[in-house]
Amino acid sequence: MANVAFADPIEPYWDTGGAISFPMNYGAEEHGSSFLYGYPLQVIAADGGVGIWSGTVGAGNLILGIAAQNAQNLGTTGAGAPVGFSPITSYGSVVGNYLANGTQSAAYISPPMTPISDGYTYWFVAAPTTVFRARIGSSSGGTNPVATAITQRGAPYGLTQDAVNSYWFVDTNKSNSVTVVGFDPLDSIGTTGGHVLFVFNPATAVGDFA
Amino acid sequence: MQNLMNRNQFPPLLAPGLRHIFVQFTDLKEHAPQYPHYMNEMTSEDAYEILYELSGTGPMPLMPEGTRPAADGIIQGGTKKVVHLQYGLLSEATRQLIADEKYGIIRKMPESHARSGLFGREAVCCSLFNLGTTLTTTNGVSLFNTAQPLMGGAAATSISPNISTIINSAGTYPNRPNPDTDLTMTSLQQMIVMFALQPDDRGIPTHVKPKFLVHSPFQRRNVRELLGSPGVPGSSNNELNWVQAENLVGLELNYLTTPNGWGLIADKSGHQLDFFEREPLMAQTDDDFKTQVLMFLSTQRFGVVALTWRGTAFSYGA
């Protein structure tokens, strides 16, 4: 079966603790990262940067949470992050910089309207109280959407990256990282690739290492 | 960190009879703001500001009769994008503590936050010195560097008069001793000369004069002797203390983290150490309805930047 693009960004949906917002955290972004908003993230053991989750479940690959912004493709891990009480230590953005002249090899022009970069990436913490929302599909025979069904509530599933558009979805072909706890009321039950609500299994996620 | 304050943590505040409470955030005198002495203060209404540097033209050469003149334009330097960063501090106290506390201390939390907020400003501004070997200016190298690359390149340093013994490499000019030195009459003299001979990026001498001698409290005696002695300190030769004529003013900063660091900066019009006030310190209070916890939140947002190394020089001590 051919792959069908259907996944979209995973997002926090509500907080079971009753708070009106979702716990967030931040950390030095792994260099060269290209993840998008809504991707699951983990600590990259080699240098402690925060990058895209490997897809492997368990120790050494615990999920920090879901990316709250696109990656910035930093040249070095955490490039420009403030050092204690300091300003941002780089150009303030990493997109579109170009050399200013021929005699100052490190002088760059930073164009306006490019995204601000402070060297950090931010994520919605995979906390036990945060319920996330994602589309549901299966990695069996390619990555394709499946229909929501009330029997999915309480079922253990996994997360897989859409082979076409690269977003992540709740994968009924796995049972190792998330538990479906409900359904997005905007998608009627039976919707193919509809949004389900889920929480991360404690053994899968860091929760909050702040 | 003492975040949630409740009655169990402050039992003496719950009963009358205390003769005196020494409250550090009100009874210890706070330093007056120091950063306004050396930062150019501006306001901002944007997420960030972009600063830009341009050179002038080079020296005007001979134009022999009947020949066309030499042509020259200005050169662009780099930009600095100053992103205003948010700072914030939250303190929480139970409503019971507020209600039962007899001395009105806890409700003064915003006063304590004001001190905390000022420290943030001072520390970030002073980081220009503390982290001056890391933070970069428009030319892309550190604020304090033994070789600030000039837009005019080697042509600039070959044209500029009398700097061959000052520079460390062609096409650059230093604003940091090589190697770093402690503050002495000799090293101060060398830095003053370094200041005085400073050319622009095309090699034309500039009129830039140091005003402040920046130092930590460790150097107080040293600075007062160097700037205030009628004769050269430590000399028995009855030499005039020539530094007095420089009219330098000691600027002791309590937020320097280098005990032996010292430097010279021009007055505000002569350097580009900039502070952008995006949102002033604002104190807010609110209740968490369910838990009846009173929250004191203070925030501020500002940006600090060194646009250029011009008008500054610093040594981190031997």
How many Cβ contacts (< 8 angstroms) between chains A and B?
Answer: 100
In chain B, the residue whose alpha carbon lies closest to the alpha carbon of A98 is B78
Nearest to B139 among A92, A93, A107 (CB): A107
3-state secondary structure of A58: coil
- Cα A126 to Cα A23: distance, rounded to the nearest angstrom: 9
Within a 13 Å sphere around the CA of B202, how many CA atoms are in the beta-carbon half? 13
Give me the CATH code for the B34-54+80-315 domain, please: 3.90.1690
A18–chain B Cβ distance below 8 A for any pair = yes
Nearest to B81 among A84, A105, A110 (CB): A110
CB contact under 8 A, A88 and B85: yes
pTM, two decimal places:
0.88
Higher pLDDT, A12 or B245: B245
Chosen from A20, A94, A97, A101 to mutate, greatest number of chain B CBs within 10 A: A101
Instruction: List the domain boundaries for chain B.
Output: 34-54+80-315
A102–chain B Cβ distance below 8 A for any pair = yes
Do the beta carbons of residue A125 and residue A208 sit within 8 Å? Answer: yes
In chain A, the residue whose alpha carbon lies closest to the alpha carbon of B77 is A100
CB contact under 8 A, B85 and A87: yes
Chosen from A24, A95, A98, A104 to mutate, greatest number of chain B CBs within 10 A: A104
Closest CA to A134 of A83, A93, A177, A75: A177
- Give A19's contacts in chain B (Cβ within 8 Å): none
- Please provide the DSSP assignment of A62-88 as one string: -B-EEESS-----SSTTTT---SSS--
Residue B235: predicted pLDDT: 87
Higher pLDDT, B225 or A94: B225
Residue A114: predicted pLDDT: 87
CB contact under 8 A, B127 and A87: yes
Residue B1: predicted pLDDT: 57
Instruction: List the domain boundaries for chain A.
Output: 11-71+123-200
Q: How far is B210 from chain A (nearest CA, A)?
A: 25
Residue A1: predicted pLDDT: 65
Average pLDDT over residues B139-156: 97
Q: Are strands B273-288 and B172-173 parallel, antiparallel or unpaired?
A: unpaired
* Portion of chain B with pLDDT greater than 90, in percent: 95
Q: How far is A97 from chain B (nearest CA, A)?
A: 10
Task: Give how far Cα B245 sits from Cα of A152, B205, B232, B239, B254, Å.
Answer: 84, 21, 12, 13, 27
In chain A, the residue whose alpha carbon lies closest to the alpha carbon of B55 is A101
CB contact under 8 A, A92 and B82: yes
Q: pLDDT tens digits for A79-115? A: 999 988 999 988 888 888 899 999 999 999 988 888 8
Contact residues for B193 (Cβ-Cβ < 8 A; gap 6+): B166
In chain A, the residue whose alpha carbon lies closest to the alpha carbon of B135 is A89
Within a 13 Å sphere around the CA of B236, how many CA atoms are in the beta-carbon half? 0
Q: pLDDT tens digits for A41-79? A: 999 999 999 999 999 998 899 999 999 999 999 999 999
Do the beta carbons of residue A121 and residue A65 sit within 8 Å? Answer: no
Residue B41: predicted pLDDT: 97
- Give A83's contacts in chain B (Cβ within 8 Å): 127, 131, 134
Task: Give how far Cα B88 sits from Cα of A83, B117, B139, Å.
Answer: 17, 8, 32
CB contact under 8 A, A83 and B131: yes
CB contact under 8 A, B127 and A84: yes
A87–chain B Cβ distance below 8 A for any pair = yes
Average pLDDT over residues B291-308: 95
What number of other Cβ atoms are within 10 A of residue B256's Cβ?
21
Residue A20: predicted pLDDT: 60
Q: Are strands A195-200 and B76-83 parallel, antiparallel or unpaired?
A: unpaired
ipTM of the complex: 0.84
- Give A90's contacts in chain B (Cβ within 8 Å): 136
| Band (A209; pLDDT cuts 50, 70, 90) | very low
Do the beta carbons of residue B205 and residue B310 sit within 8 Å? Answer: no
In chain A, the residue whose alpha carbon lies closest to the alpha carbon of B276 is A87
Q: Any idea what DSSP says for residue A129?
A: T
Q: pLDDT tens digits for A178-202? A: 999 999 999 999 999 999 999 999 8
Q: pLDDT tens digits for B70-102? A: 999 999 999 999 999 999 999 999 999 999 999
Q: Which of residues 48-77 of A touch B (CB under 8 A)?
A: none
CB contact under 8 A, A107 and B138: yes
Q: How far is B140 from chain A (nearest CA, A)?
A: 4
Q: Is the pLDDT of residue A210 over 50?
A: no
